[in-house]
Amino acid sequence: MKRESKAIPVLSRRTKKAIIGFLIIAVALLVWFDRSYLSNNWPQNQTNTQKNTADFAKYHGNTFTVINVVDGDTLDIDADDEQSDSTRIRLWGIDTPETKNPNTPKMYFGAEASSFTTKLILGKQVHIYLDEQNNTRGKYGRLLAYVQLPDGRFLNEILLNEGFAYADLRFKHSLYYKYQQLESAARSQGKGLWGHVRHEQLPAWLQREKPQLLLKK
């Protein structure tokens, strides 16, 4: 007696194309996800870790000479950095009024802040300290640092104490709350820019962060 063979279903051309198309899309999505995950996680973190380690070894706790003052909160020291023969430093935790940003008009008290920083540190030997809780570089590649003067005071704090800078609320750092208190004390005493600054003269980020900020009359 003959056994009946089971019929093998034949897929239509349209069905085959649909399955092949689905598989191609699935593979493409897997490749994209894999590359996206790696590019957004491992390589970047690996690069940041290596850069942080190198920066701490080179700068943290070491002494350098200030060879240029760019702005109230930005300066150059005599240490080569990648393609430059100097290292640009952005002071951690503060923001002085802009004077050199091509996209921003000169701000109220910016010239005074820049002049104050220049007189205080240009040509001086300073100690550089980095923040262990953060990356050592900002988005423009500048070294983020606390700068200590020969007399032991920190430039970051002096600028806040004397009313030449705002406590930067956009980025958390080890002295975040202390810097807020220093700014508050200077503001209550009407020091520096706090004596006459108007709300519309504040940095745009500060107007967003503290729209109801009370200024000294």
Active site residues: 90, 98, 142
Q: What is the dihedral of CA 10, 14, 15, 16, to 10 degrees?
A: 80
- CA 178, 125, 52 angle in degrees (round to 5)? 60
| DSSP codes joined into one string, 111-146 | HHHHHHHHHHHTT-EEEEE--TTS-SB-TTSPEEEE
Structure tokens, 99 = 């004077």
28 by Cβ neighbours in 10 Å (0-12 / 13-18 / 19+) ranks as exposed
Which residues make beta-bridge pairs with 146? Answer: 129
